[in-house]
Amino acid sequence: MFAEINKDAMSALPFAINTIGESKKQPDMIRPAGFNYHHLIWVTKGSGVFETGGKTFVLGSGEGIFMRKGVPHSYRGDDYSTMWFTFAMNSSTLDFIGVGDYLVFRAPDNLCSEAMQLMTFANGNS
Protein backbone atom coordinates (compact mmCIF):
# COMPACT_ATOMS: atom_id res chain seq x y z
CA MET A 1 0.00 0.00 0.00
CA PHE A 2 1.20 3.50 -0.79
CA ALA A 3 -0.27 6.97 -0.40
CA GLU A 4 0.98 10.36 -1.53
CA ILE A 5 -0.23 13.46 0.27
CA ASN A 6 -1.42 16.58 -1.58
CA LYS A 7 1.76 18.53 -2.38
CA ASP A 8 -0.10 21.88 -2.55
CA ALA A 9 -0.68 21.79 1.20
CA MET A 10 2.97 21.19 2.04
CA SER A 11 4.33 24.72 1.64
CA ALA A 12 2.04 26.15 4.32
CA LEU A 13 2.85 23.59 7.01
CA PRO A 14 5.91 23.34 9.29
CA PHE A 15 5.83 19.54 8.94
CA ALA A 16 4.10 17.70 6.12
CA ILE A 17 4.03 14.01 5.33
CA ASN A 18 4.63 13.43 1.62
CA THR A 19 4.35 9.65 1.23
CA ILE A 20 3.52 6.75 3.46
CA GLY A 21 3.65 3.10 2.58
CA GLU A 22 4.29 -0.53 3.28
CA SER A 23 6.41 -3.03 1.36
CA LYS A 24 5.59 -6.66 2.13
CA LYS A 25 8.76 -7.60 0.22
CA GLN A 26 11.10 -4.62 0.31
CA PRO A 27 13.10 -4.29 -2.94
CA ASP A 28 16.74 -3.24 -2.87
CA MET A 29 17.16 0.51 -2.99
CA ILE A 30 20.26 2.52 -3.92
CA ARG A 31 20.04 6.30 -3.64
CA PRO A 32 23.45 7.89 -4.28
CA ALA A 33 21.89 11.37 -4.07
CA GLY A 34 19.52 10.53 -1.21
CA PHE A 35 15.80 11.22 -1.47
CA ASN A 36 13.85 14.44 -2.11
CA TYR A 37 12.28 14.34 1.37
CA HIS A 38 13.33 13.29 4.85
CA HIS A 39 12.82 9.54 5.11
CA LEU A 40 11.84 7.33 8.04
CA ILE A 41 11.78 3.58 7.37
CA TRP A 42 11.48 0.65 9.76
CA VAL A 43 11.59 -3.12 9.43
CA THR A 44 8.36 -4.97 10.21
CA LYS A 45 9.53 -8.51 9.39
CA GLY A 46 12.92 -10.11 8.80
CA SER A 47 16.07 -8.00 8.57
CA GLY A 48 17.75 -5.70 6.08
CA VAL A 49 21.13 -4.09 5.59
CA PHE A 50 21.06 -0.27 5.56
CA GLU A 51 24.02 1.89 4.58
CA THR A 52 24.42 5.63 5.09
CA GLY A 53 27.06 8.01 6.36
CA GLY A 54 29.80 5.47 5.63
CA LYS A 55 28.26 3.02 8.12
CA THR A 56 26.39 -0.25 7.71
CA PHE A 57 23.50 -1.29 9.97
CA VAL A 58 21.68 -4.62 10.06
CA LEU A 59 18.18 -3.76 11.22
CA GLY A 60 15.67 -6.35 12.32
CA SER A 61 11.97 -6.28 13.02
CA GLY A 62 11.07 -3.25 15.10
CA GLU A 63 14.19 -1.28 14.21
CA GLY A 64 14.40 1.64 11.82
CA ILE A 65 16.43 4.49 10.45
CA PHE A 66 15.76 8.14 9.70
CA MET A 67 17.72 9.82 6.90
CA ARG A 68 17.62 13.49 6.03
CA LYS A 69 16.71 14.52 2.51
CA GLY A 70 19.65 14.42 0.12
CA VAL A 71 21.69 12.04 2.30
CA PRO A 72 23.05 9.13 0.21
CA HIS A 73 21.82 5.74 1.39
CA SER A 74 20.93 2.23 0.34
CA TYR A 75 19.18 -0.80 1.76
CA ARG A 76 18.92 -4.41 0.77
CA GLY A 77 17.99 -7.84 2.06
CA ASP A 78 16.75 -11.25 1.04
CA ASP A 79 13.25 -11.29 2.47
CA TYR A 80 12.12 -8.47 4.70
CA SER A 81 9.17 -6.12 5.04
CA THR A 82 9.15 -2.41 5.83
CA MET A 83 6.90 0.52 6.46
CA TRP A 84 7.97 4.11 5.82
CA PHE A 85 6.99 7.68 5.48
CA THR A 86 8.69 10.65 3.90
CA PHE A 87 8.13 14.21 4.99
CA ALA A 88 9.02 17.82 4.34
CA MET A 89 10.33 19.91 7.19
CA ASN A 90 12.72 22.80 7.45
CA SER A 91 16.20 21.36 8.03
CA SER A 92 16.94 24.10 10.57
CA THR A 93 14.34 22.51 12.86
CA LEU A 94 16.24 19.22 12.70
CA ASP A 95 19.47 21.13 13.36
CA PHE A 96 17.89 22.83 16.38
CA ILE A 97 16.82 19.54 17.98
CA GLY A 98 20.19 17.96 17.22
CA VAL A 99 19.28 15.39 14.57
CA GLY A 100 22.19 14.58 12.26
CA ASP A 101 22.12 13.16 8.73
CA TYR A 102 20.72 9.86 10.00
CA LEU A 103 19.43 8.29 13.18
CA VAL A 104 18.88 4.61 13.99
CA PHE A 105 15.95 3.95 16.32
CA ARG A 106 13.79 1.32 17.97
CA ALA A 107 10.22 1.63 16.63
CA PRO A 108 7.50 2.14 19.23
CA ASP A 109 5.03 -0.76 19.44
CA ASN A 110 2.17 1.32 18.02
CA LEU A 111 4.07 2.79 15.03
CA CYS A 112 2.71 0.23 12.53
CA SER A 113 -0.91 0.61 13.59
CA GLU A 114 -0.64 4.41 13.58
CA ALA A 115 0.96 4.36 10.11
CA MET A 116 -1.82 2.08 8.82
CA GLN A 117 -4.44 4.51 10.14
CA LEU A 118 -2.65 7.39 8.45
CA MET A 119 -2.50 5.45 5.15
CA THR A 120 -6.23 4.78 5.38
CA PHE A 121 -6.87 8.47 6.01
CA ALA A 122 -4.54 9.55 3.16
CA ASN A 123 -6.32 7.22 0.76
CA GLY A 124 -9.65 8.86 1.66
CA ASN A 125 -11.05 5.87 3.51
CA SER A 126 -11.39 7.54 6.90
d(CA 94, CA 14) in angstroms, rounded, equals: 12
What is the DSSP secondary structure assignment for residue 11, as one 8-state letter? G
d(CA 95, CA 5) in angstroms, rounded, equals: 25
d(CA 86, CA 39) in angstroms, rounded, equals: 4
Pairwise pLDDT comparison (79 vs 115), residue with the higher score:
79
Q: What are phi and psi for residue 96, nearest 5 degrees?
A: -60, -40
What is the DSSP secondary structure assignment for residue 53, as one 8-state letter? T
Predicted confidence band at 102 (pLDDT cuts at 50, 70, 90)? very high
10-30: pLDDT as tens digits: 555 567 788 888 999 999 999
The whole-number pLDDT of residue 8 equals 57
Is the pLDDT confidence value at 82 over 50?
Answer: yes
d(CA 74, CA 97) in angstroms, rounded, equals: 25
